[in-house]
Every structure is written in C-alpha cells, then in structure tokens.
Chains A and B, each alone.
Chain A
C-alpha cells in the first residue's frame, strides 16, 4: 500500500506543477541576473523507488525547465516589447498542459483503484480469522 501512496503523492505533485504552469502562462519572472524574462514551463521527471523501499514505488527525481523556444507575440504596446514590437511569452501551451493534467488525473485514479484493491485483499484476509 505504501507503493500506491507514493504514486498518489507523486502524481499530486505533478498536478500542482501543471497548475502552476497554467497560472504562469503569461508571467514574467525575475531571472538570476536581475532582468525580467518569461516564465519557463516546468516538467517533472519520475523515478522508480520511494523513500521507504529501494525498488518499489515512485518518487519525483527532478523538476526541469523545458528549454523550447519562447513564443513571439506581436504586441508593440506591451511594456516588455522588443524593438521589433514582439514580446516573448512563456512557452506554456494550455492545450498541452490540459492533456498532461488529464493524464496525471488518470494515473492518480488508477493508483486509487490499486489502493482499493490492496485494501480489499487485506480485508478478505481478515475474514479467515473472523
């Protein structure tokens, strides 16, 4: 059951990250060099093995920035517009994020089912005694 629990928390983290991506689809953040740059879409990488067991369960290995190109939007009135009138917008595609969210949800629900199955097995085992 710990296995399923680790998967549930991993998928939940992923959903939170996706929500964060969506929320920042139009944001600018202050980079390490002090200048303003568009928000970069984040991705999560899972790995086998959680804290408890070595070869079982799943956990988050790392969160990486997706290094694809920023979108160029023509908007001369934007405060951050460049000399050509284009603004760099974050590389977040809402459609992609929604699909990812659906996938994460599906994985989450599948793990809930797995946990239910484990619970059912344990409950059945108790019937042997009582």
Chain B
C-alpha cells in the first residue's frame, strides 16, 4: 500500500483530476466548434464551476481526515492522504436561452468557444508541466541525484 500512497500525497492527485477534466472538456468544446453550423444545436459544456466546487470539497475532506502537515519529528510516521471522492463530471446541455441564438436555432458562439478552448488548453498544459516537476522531485528523492 505504501507505493500507492506515495502518489496520493500532496498535489499529484489534484493535478491528475484537473488534467483529466481538461482533456474531457477539450473534447466537448471541439464538438461545439464542429457543430457551429448545425441547425437546432445547443452548445454543451462540462461546467467548470461545478468541477471546482467538487474538487474543493474533496480537498477539504482530505484535509480534515488526514492532516497534510506532518511535523518533522523522527519516529513519527508520514500519513498518506488520498484525494478520495471521485469528482464525477457529467456532460451538461445547459443554457437553453443564455442570450445567444442564431437564425438557424444554433446556440454556438464561435468566439466564446475559441476563448474557452484557449483557456482550457492553457490550464491543461500548465498542470502537465507542474506534474512533470512533481515527478521530477520524486525522482530526485528516489535517486538521490541532483540533475536538471
């Protein structure tokens, strides 16, 4: 169990969840962009606010049950804390009348989709970079070698 717990600490589970969410959202947004000219199409989304709320509560839950701050005293065990509670994300078909509707009954605003796409990609790539650094730190600890 120790090896699994090794990856359940700190920010790695958080990063994993966000990266996975961003990847799925990219798919949904790409679908919106693909259907920009389809009549009667309503835009879909994975609501970010909802995901963030679920993530926050999962983190708080973890914080409560397994306090992250382990005091560095010799002899005291490191307490692993997994990010429990799967952050379920469902594809929502919301916003029937958010104000944007075209003559062919299509609610996709191409500008909005492009903006959301950019933001999503940016967040995903930033998180991946951070994850790489995390694993790098772990590698430093494991191999005891300080390499760039």
Residues in A with CB closer than 8 Å to B114 are: 110, 113
Q: How many residues of A contact B (CB 8 A)?
A: 32
Which residue of chain A has the shortest Cβ distance to B111 in the bound complex?
A: A110
Most chain B C-beta atoms within 10 Å of own C-beta, residue among A10, A114, A127, A128? A114
Residues in A with CB closer than 8 Å to B129 are: 124, 127
Residues in A with CB closer than 8 Å to B110 are: 106-107, 110
In the complex, whether A21 has a CB less than 8 A from a CB of chain B is no
Name the segment of A28-36, A45-53, A70-78 touching the other chain: A45-53
Provide the bound-state CA to CA distance between A11 and B19, in Å. 31
Residues in A with CB closer than 8 Å to B117 are: 113-114, 117
Name the segment of B30-38, B45-53, B64-72, B138-146 touching the other chain: B30-38
Q: How many residues of B contact A (CB 8 A)?
A: 30
In the complex, whether A18 has a CB less than 8 A from a CB of chain B is no
Known: A118-B26, A118-B30. A48 touches B35 (CB 8 A): yes
Residues in A with CB closer than 8 Å to B39 are: 45-46
Residues in B with CB closer than 8 Å to A56 are: 27, 31, 34
Q: Is the CB of A57 within 8 A of B26?
A: no
Provide the bound-state CA to CA distance between A128 and B29, in Å. 24
Provide the bound-state CA to CA distance between A56 and B28, in Å. 8
Q: Is the CB of B125 within 8 A of A120?
A: yes
Q: Is the CB of B34 within 8 A of A117?
A: no
Q: Apart from A110-B33, A118-B27, list 17 A-B contacts with CB within 8 A.
A: A6-B34, A7-B33, A7-B34, A46-B37, A56-B34, A107-B36, A111-B30, A118-B30, A121-B22, A121-B23, A124-B128, A124-B129, A125-B128, A127-B128, A127-B129, A127-B132, A128-B131
Residues in B lying within 8 Å of A, measured CB to CB: 19, 22-23, 26-27, 29-31, 33-39, 41, 110, 113-114, 117-118, 120-121, 124-125, 128-129, 131-132, 135
